[in-house]
Amino acid sequence: MSIHPPAQRVWWKQPIDKIEAAWIGLALIWCLILFAWMPYWHVFGKQNLSTESYKTSTTAFEKKTNDMIAKYTVRKEADGQIPVVAPPAGSNVYLAASKWAWNPILELKKGESYRLHISSLDWQHGFSLQPVNMNLQILPGYETVITLTPTQSGEFGVVCNEFCGIGHHAMLGKIYVKD
Closest C-alpha to 62, from 119, 137, 123: 119
Name residues whose C-beta falls within 8 Å of residue 56's C-beta, 6 or more positions apart in sequence.
119, 141, 142, 143
CB 130 within 8 A of CB 107: no
Does 4 reside within a domain?
Answer: no
pLDDT at res. 34: 94
**Do both 138 and 87 map to the same domain?**
yes
**Do both 40 and 56 map to the same domain?**
no
**Do both 40 and 58 map to the same domain?**
no
pLDDT at res. 132: 84
d(CA 79, CA 21): 68
**Do both 24 and 63 map to the same domain?**
no
d(CA 58, CA 118): 11
**Do both 60 and 129 map to the same domain?**
yes
Range of the domain at 80: 52-178
pLDDT at res. 1: 56
For residue 125, the tally of other CB atoms under 10 A from its CB is 28
Does 96 reside within a domain?
Answer: yes
**Do both 162 and 83 map to the same domain?**
yes
Residue type, 168: H
d(CA 142, CA 129): 19
**Do both 31 and 84 map to the same domain?**
no
Full strand arrangement of the beta sheet holding 73-77: 73-77, 82-85, 105-109, 172-178, 154-159, 125-130, 134-138
The domain total for the chain is: 2
**Do both 39 and 69 map to the same domain?**
no
**Do both 24 and 71 map to the same domain?**
no
**Do both 57 and 34 map to the same domain?**
no
pLDDT 10s digits, 154-177: 999 999 999 998 999 999 999 999
Q: What are the φ/ψ torsions at residue 41 (nearest 5 degrees)?
A: -65, -35
pLDDT 10s digits, 123-151: 999 999 999 878 899 999 999 999 999 99
**Do both 72 and 35 map to the same domain?**
no
d(CA 58, CA 21): 56
CB 102 within 8 A of CB 87: no
Does 8 reside within a domain?
Answer: no
CB 144 within 8 A of CB 75: no
CATH of the domain at 117: 2.60.40.420
**Do both 96 and 37 map to the same domain?**
no
pLDDT at res. 48: 64
Does 132 reside within a domain?
Answer: yes
Does 166 reside within a domain?
Answer: yes
Does 108 reside within a domain?
Answer: yes
Does 64 reside within a domain?
Answer: yes
pLDDT at res. 47: 64
**179 residues of the chain, pLDDT tens digit each:** 567 766 667 777 778 889 999 999 999 999 999 999 888 887 787 666 778 899 999 999 999 999 999 999 999 987 878 999 999 999 999 999 998 999 999 999 999 999 999 999 999 999 999 998 788 999 999 999 999 999 999 999 999 999 998 999 999 999 999 98
Does 7 reside within a domain?
Answer: no
pLDDT at res. 134: 86
